[in-house]
C-alpha cells in the first residue's frame, strides 16, 4: 500500500506543485519590489536636486520612471494571480490523475521581462 497517495496524485507531486507556486510568488514579490524602488529612487533623486541647489534646475520630467515602476508592480500582481490559477489547475489535474505541462506562464513572464529590459535600456541609453 502506497502511503504517499492522496485522493489523486502523490503527496510529493502536490508538495512540488506548492513549492513551484511559492517560487512564482517570490518572483512576483521581487518584481513588485523592484518597481517600487524604481519609482521611489526617481523621487529621491529629484528631492536631492532640490535640496542641494539654490535655484530650481530644469530636470527632465518624462515620467518614465514612474510608468516603468507602476508597470512592474502591476506585472508582479498579475504574475501572482496567474501563478495561483496555475497552481489550482495543476492541483485539479493531479487529483484527476491527468497532468499536461504548460509553459504559457513561463513564456509570458519571459516576454514581459524581455520587453521591460528593452524599455529600460532605451531609457538609460541617453544617459551614457
Tell me: the pLDDT tens digits for 20-59?
A: 999 999 999 999 999 899 888 877 777 777 777 766 555 5
pLDDT reported for residue 81: 94
C-alpha cell at 11: 503527496
Q: Residue 109 falls within a domain, yes or no?
A: yes
Q: Residue 5 falls within a domain, yes or no?
A: no
Q: Residue 2 falls within a domain, yes or no?
A: no
Could you give the number of structural domains in the chain? 1
Q: Residue 6 falls within a domain, yes or no?
A: no
User: Is residue 128 over pLDDT 90?
Assistant: no
pLDDT reported for residue 28: 93
- Quote the CA–CA distance of 11 and 94 in Å, as a whole number: 10
Higher pLDDT: 62 or 42? It is 42
Percent of the chain with pLDDT over 70: 85
Q: Residue 24 falls within a domain, yes or no?
A: yes
C-alpha cell at 55: 535655484
Note down the domain range covering 70: 11-127
pLDDT reported for residue 1: 43
Instruction: Give the chain's radius of gyration (CA, Å).
Output: 21
Average pLDDT for 92-111:
86
Q: Residue 1 falls within a domain, yes or no?
A: no
- The three state secondary structure string of the chain is CCCCECCCCEHHHHHHHHHHHHHHHHHHHHHHHHHHHHHHHHHHHHHHHHHCCCCCCCCCCCCHHHHHHHHHHHHHHHHHHHHHHHHHHHHHHHHCCCCCCCCHHHHHHHHHHHHHHHHHHHHHHHHC
Q: Residue 22 falls within a domain, yes or no?
A: yes
Listed residue (104, 115, 121) closest to 31, CA to CA: 115
The pTM for the full model equals: 0.70
Q: Residue 93 falls within a domain, yes or no?
A: yes
Average pLDDT for 56-68:
66
Amino acid at each position: 500500500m502506497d502511503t504517499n497517495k492522496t485522493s489523486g496524485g502523490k503527496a510529493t507531486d502536490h508538495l512540488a506543485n506548492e513549492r513551484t507556486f511559492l517560487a512564482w510568488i517570490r518572483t512576483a514579490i521581487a518584481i513588485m519590489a523592484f518597481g517600487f524602488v524604481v519609482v521611489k529612487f526617481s523621487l529621491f533623486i529629484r528631492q536631492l536636486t532640490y535640496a542641494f541647489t539654490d535655484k530650481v534646475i530644469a530636470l527632465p520630467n518624462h515620467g518614465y520612471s514612474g510608468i516603468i515602476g507602476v508597470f512592474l508592480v502591476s506585472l508582479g500582481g498579475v504574475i501572482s494571480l496567474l501563478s495561483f490559477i496555475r497552481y489550482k489547475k495543476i492541483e485539479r489535474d493531479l487529483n484527476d490523475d491527468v497532468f499536461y505541462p504548460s509553459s504559457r506562464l513561463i513564456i509570458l513572464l519571459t516576454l514581459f521581462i524581455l520587453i521591460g529590459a528593452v524599455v529600460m535600456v532605451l531609457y538609460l541609453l541617453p544617459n551614457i
